[in-house]
Chain A
């Protein structure tokens, strides 16, 4: 991979993160209400004490100075103190991050794998009834509201059938590591299933379109002329060539995935970053809310960057373009 490509993408990523920081600062400051009001908003407080508290938050300085202080702190990894956790915000977010990743990354990878398989194989049954039905079915799944599907899962498989636990991430009373791991898997199964059902159709349709494009290319005709069998063509050419653009499609979905995790985490009481945003909002915990949104943006940017790298790894057209 060309070094210039890598450097270019890296610089772009840093620039975008910087813009995200500025954007979130503007967003919080421009919304009505004072971020620190809960500390000095009591009408009984004498004015001097109010001013003192304001100053301790740096709110007495001009806005530009506050902006630079904010940037400086951000680069040192300090995004403020959460009202509700009484701790620095960053450790709180970092402790919840892995749970969101567990929740979203695994079904997404599975989705992509399954989509690659079905998307490519359906192809060769073009025109038959089964293919049209499968595509229609996949398309309908896209239109189901995520949270409703999750609710139905909880209701059906969790509550009425009793096969899966209804909420949480693991049984808190278990002690050993292996028991805990199994418990996490049990609790994660329904959310994984929901996310999988939601993501796979979109990926499959995308893969199918890509594959159709590829099949129309000249080199496929050459391959057939060379006497390659269908399955060979499938494996060698179609699959490899659709991986690259698929990662490009993934970047479009990542933002939605990280955001959409909020709904799933709410229903399954999965204590990840999505639920953190919701709780921070309900508690008017502005430092936490701002920092979580900011870190979600940064997470998405990094994920996109990784997906771009993966795309370049699989698609030569990109990395030398």
Chain B
């Protein structure tokens, strides 16, 4: 137990840990407590003001072309981005991890077949195919999560399989087998836990990528139409001529929000990487 605690302390003590957790918790608070923090409700049609108001005392970040307060939209938008990051990260880690571990443990034909599939999925250009799928299945939140997981599990599967393969050749695995342990026991007691560290790190990177991908898709018009999201704000800003009308605040603030969210999660990933693999830290010297 104390090993974990030590690592956790190392993580929090480090620069990456402090900054990323700080920003993330701030965003998480915004997302969870949005109705109480946001000055206006962007979903309420009666709370609209003058359109295209520059930042002022009543609207700290200004209003967009429809009169909706931008600060409130940024706060509510955190919900979409953080949840998509969370579900994608967890989904990819679970799916990719399980597949990678099974492939590594079972070996043989299953392993080879799985790796061919992984190779193929990794070669697919994500965005065009996502556009193709969303053209037909619609662009709701869950369709997006599903697509992200479908494209993201491959990389993690490959990494976990590599970890499993290297762990398999350790002494204690042979010892366990001599003692008569079944494959599934070895799997769950030894091999799977060995992959946890890499899974956490990969999940963090995947989550960061998902946030950027969601923003991109929403920007192209494939976001969930009923939810306020940062990418959709940028889509509207472009469609409704924010640039010509001089509404720089409509373009700058949502972009900063996306950047902060993905930056903090990616930074957390780097910090976790250093925490699980102290040798990386030594390279800093």
Is there a direct interface between A and B, measured as CB atoms under 8 Å apart in the complex?
Answer: yes
B-contacting residues of A (Cβ < 8 Å)?
16, 19-20, 23, 27, 31-33, 126-127, 132, 139-140, 142-148, 151-152, 154-155, 159, 212, 252, 255-256, 258-260, 262-263, 266-267, 274, 277-278, 281, 284, 289-290, 292-293, 296-297, 300-301, 304
Is B127's CB within 8 Å of the partner chain A?
yes
How far is it, in angstroms, between the C-alpha of A152 and the C-alpha of B131 when the chains are bound? 24
A and B contact pairs by CB, cutoff 8 A, 30 listed: A27-B129, A31-B136, A126-B284, A127-B284, A139-B266, A139-B270, A143-B262, A143-B263, A144-B259, A145-B216, A145-B262, A147-B215, A151-B234, A151-B255, A159-B243, A255-B126, A258-B125, A259-B125, A259-B128, A262-B220, A266-B220, A267-B238, A274-B127, A274-B128, A277-B127, A278-B220, A297-B123, A297-B124, A297-B125, A300-B124
Q: Which single member of A27, A132, A293, A300 contacts B123 (CB below 8 Å)?
A: A300
Kindly list chain A residues whose C-beta atoms are within 8 Å of the C-beta of B135.
Answer: 281, 284, 289
How far is it, in angstroms, between the C-alpha of A266 and the C-alpha of B259 when the chains are bound? 20
How far is it, in angstroms, between the C-alpha of A23 and the C-alpha of B220 when the chains are bound? 25
The reply to whether A304 and B262 contact each other, CB–CB distance below 8 Å, is no
Q: Give the nearest-CB partner of A12 in chain B.
A: B119
Q: Give the nearest-CB partner of A15 in chain B.
A: B116
Kindly list chain B residues whose C-beta atoms are within 8 Å of the C-beta of A258.
Answer: 125, 128
Kindly list chain A residues whose C-beta atoms are within 8 Å of the C-beta of B251.
Answer: 151-152, 155
- Residue picked from A146, A147, A258, most chain B C-beta under 10 Å: A147
Secondary structure class of chain B's binding surface, majority of residues: helix
How far is it, in angstroms, between the C-alpha of A127 and the C-alpha of B285 when the chains are bound? 5
The reply to whether A147 and B283 contact each other, CB–CB distance below 8 Å, is no
How far is it, in angstroms, between the C-alpha of A263 and the C-alpha of B216 when the chains are bound? 7
Q: Give the nearest-CB partner of B119 in chain A.
A: A16
- Residue picked from A148, A266, A290, most chain B C-beta under 10 Å: A148
The reply to whether A16 and B123 contact each other, CB–CB distance below 8 Å, is yes
Shortest distance from the beta carbon of A214 to any chain B beta carbon, whole Å: 13
Kindly list chain B residues whose C-beta atoms are within 8 Å of the C-beta of A139.
Answer: 266-267, 270
How far is it, in angstroms, between the C-alpha of A247 and the C-alpha of B216 when the chains are bound? 27
> Interface extent on B, as a size class?
35 or more
Kindly list chain A residues whose C-beta atoms are within 8 Å of the C-beta of B178.
Answer: none
Kindly list chain A residues whose C-beta atoms are within 8 Å of the C-beta of B125.
Answer: 255-256, 258-259, 293, 296-297, 300
* Residues 123-170 (chain B) with a chain A CB within 8 angstroms: 123-129, 131-133, 135-137
Is B276's CB within 8 Å of the partner chain A?
no
The reply to whether B132 and A293 contact each other, CB–CB distance below 8 Å, is yes
Q: Give the nearest-CB partner of B130 in chain A.
A: A259
The reply to whether B128 and A155 contact each other, CB–CB distance below 8 Å, is no
How far is it, in angstroms, between the C-alpha of A132 and the C-alpha of B284 when the chains are bound? 9
Is B258's CB within 8 Å of the partner chain A?
yes
Is B120's CB within 8 Å of the partner chain A?
yes
Given contacts A32-B136, A148-B255, contact A126 B234 (CB under 8 A): no
How far is it, in angstroms, between the C-alpha of A293 and the C-alpha of B129 when the chains are bound? 6
Is B236's CB within 8 Å of the partner chain A?
no
Kindly list chain A residues whose C-beta atoms are within 8 Å of the C-beta of B270.
Answer: 139
Is B208's CB within 8 Å of the partner chain A?
yes
